[in-house]
Structures are given as C-alpha cells and as structure tokens.
Amino acid sequence: MKDLIKQLMQLQDIDSRILEKRLFIDKVPLRIFEVDEPLKQARAELEKITQKTEALGKKKKDKERLLEEINEKIKKMKSRISDIKTNKEYQAHLKEIESSEREIGGIEEEILLIMEDLDAVVREHKEKERIVRSEGDKIDAFKKKLDLEVSAYEKELSVLKEERVSLASLITPDIYRTYMTLLGSGNGVAVTKAKGEICLGCNMNMPPQLFVEVRKNEEIIQCPQCQRILYYEEEQ
Ligand SMILES: [Zn+2]
C-alpha cells in the first residue's frame, strides 16, 4: 500500500474519532436537559400539592373560626335565657339555639372531611418530596459521570489534534484540500473502503475496472458516485 493512501486512512481514522468525541461533548447540554425533565415535572407536582395543602389549611382555619363565632353566639343566646319573659319568646329562642347547634354539627363534619383530605395531601406531599430528592440525586450522579467523560474526551481530543497536525503535514496541500472538501460533503467521511466493487461510503457499485485499480492502493481513486477516496483492505 502506498504511504499516501495509508496516511489518508489514518487521517480519516483520527477525524472520525475527533468527530465522535466532539459530537458527544456537543450533545451534553441536550442530554442534561432531557434528564432534567422528570425533576422539573416532580418539582411542578410538588408545588401543586403545596398549594393544595395551603388551601386546605386555610379552609380548615376558616371553618374553625366560623365554629368559634357560632359557639360564641350560642353562649350569648344561652346567657340571655333568664331575660326572656314569655313562653313563646322562650320557644323561639330555644329553636334558634338548636338551629345554631345543628349548624355546628354540620361544620364539625366538614372540618373532619377537610382533615381527612389534608392527611391524604400531606402524605402525597411527602411522597413528592421524596421523588424530587431522588430525581435530584439521579441528575447529580448523571452530571458527575458526564463531567468525567467529557474531561477524559477533551484530553483524548488534544492528543488526537496533535497527531492530526503531524499527520496532515505529510500530505500535500492539494490532496489535503480535496480531503477536507470531501470530509465536509461526505458527512465526516472522506476516505472509505471498497468491498466487492461496492463503495461502502455510498453503497453504490463501481465499474469492475475501477475496482481493480482501487485494489492496488497505489493512487487516489474517487468513487464515481459520492467522490469519496477509496481504499481496499484484504479480508481477514
Ligand atoms: Zn461512494
């Protein structure tokens, strides 16, 4: 195999690895954003439950205040009994007290129901808090793992870039330019294998005579379809 073909293959290998690592690093914010979604949702649900708890607490307090007012009213009514002169007035007064006491019974029942709701909501609140904590822990662990991977990749990238500079200096400028153009137009693949008269870059057939030339690995031969530089490798 001619050195030039070998160098182009090595350059492609380095560029593919650089591209893969860059892609990984570029995708990190998106991956964090995606992983963040369950935590955001859990926080929103916790907020909703908090509001529900507060609303129920306020409702309970309002009912309790009302209860106090009616109790106060009953106490006053009872204290006035001795002032009542006629039986008719007395009966009416008793009726009023009874109706207020019935009202109290109703309110007490309402308070019990509110307390049951509150119990359920408080339990739910605790559960949502637990979910928020565990989702937070999960994201922290994920971010830590990503940070380690990114710094390892960045180190590898700087080594690869150095290798690339010395390798690229061996290739003549016009061939290097062609390579770079193909790298851009070929989605990161400028040099590709030919296997059984097929270009593995675009999966198209090539003329048999061209494949014979490619097999020699002696000069730069481009795929007639995708223009990528072709090389041949003996099957293991
Ligand atoms: Zn091709």
Distance 222 CA to ligand 1 centre (A): 8
Give the model's pLDDT for residue 51.
97
Q: Select from 170, 189, 221 the last residue of a domain.
A: 170
Does residue 36 share a domain with residue 135? yes
Distance 7 CA to ligand 1 centre (A): 20
| Residue 11: inside a domain | no
| Residue 112: inside a domain | yes
Give the model's pLDDT for residue 236.
75
Distance 188 CA to ligand 1 centre (A): 13
Distance 198 CA to ligand 1 centre (A): 8
Does residue 189 share a domain with residue 78? no
Distance 204 CA to ligand 1 centre (A): 6
Does residue 208 share a domain with residue 137? no
| Residue 207: inside a domain | yes
Q: Which domain holds residue 146?
A: 17-170
Give the model's pLDDT for residue 52.
96
| Residue 2: inside a domain | no
Q: Report every protein residue that has its C-beta within 5 angstroms of ion ligand 1.
A: 199, 201-202, 223, 225-226
Give the model's pLDDT for residue 235.
82
Does residue 153 share a domain with residue 202? no
Does residue 124 share a domain with residue 199? no
Written as tens digits, the pLDDT of the chain (236 aa) is: 789 999 999 999 999 999 999 999 999 999 999 989 999 999 999 999 999 999 999 999 999 999 999 999 999 999 998 898 999 999 999 999 999 999 999 999 999 999 999 999 999 999 999 999 999 999 999 999 999 999 999 999 999 999 999 999 999 999 999 999 999 999 999 999 999 999 999 999 999 999 999 999 999 999 999 999 999 998 87
Distance 154 CA to ligand 1 centre (A): 32
Q: With b meaning 16 or more CB within 10 Å and e meaning fewer, what string describes 14-42?
A: bbebbeebeeebeeeeeeeeeeeeebeeb
Distance 206 CA to ligand 1 centre (A): 8
Does residue 179 share a domain with residue 161? no
Give the model's pLDDT for residue 44.
97
Contacts 24+ apart (CB under 8 A), 110-117: 110/63, 111/60, 111/63, 111/64, 111/67, 114/56, 114/59, 114/60, 114/63, 115/60, 117/56
Does residue 96 share a domain with residue 118? yes
Does residue 198 share a domain with residue 104? no
| Residue 127: inside a domain | yes
Distance 208 CA to ligand 1 centre (A): 14
| Residue 7: inside a domain | no
Could you tell me if residue 158 is left (phi over 0), alpha (psi between -120 and 50 degrees) or otherwise beta?
A: alpha
pTM of the model: 0.72
Distance 199 CA to ligand 1 centre (A): 5
| Residue 6: inside a domain | no
Does residue 158 share a domain with residue 64? yes
Does residue 91 share a domain with residue 208? no
Give the model's pLDDT for residue 2.
86
Does residue 182 share a domain with residue 163? no
Does residue 203 share a domain with residue 132? no
* Count of domains observed in the chain: 2
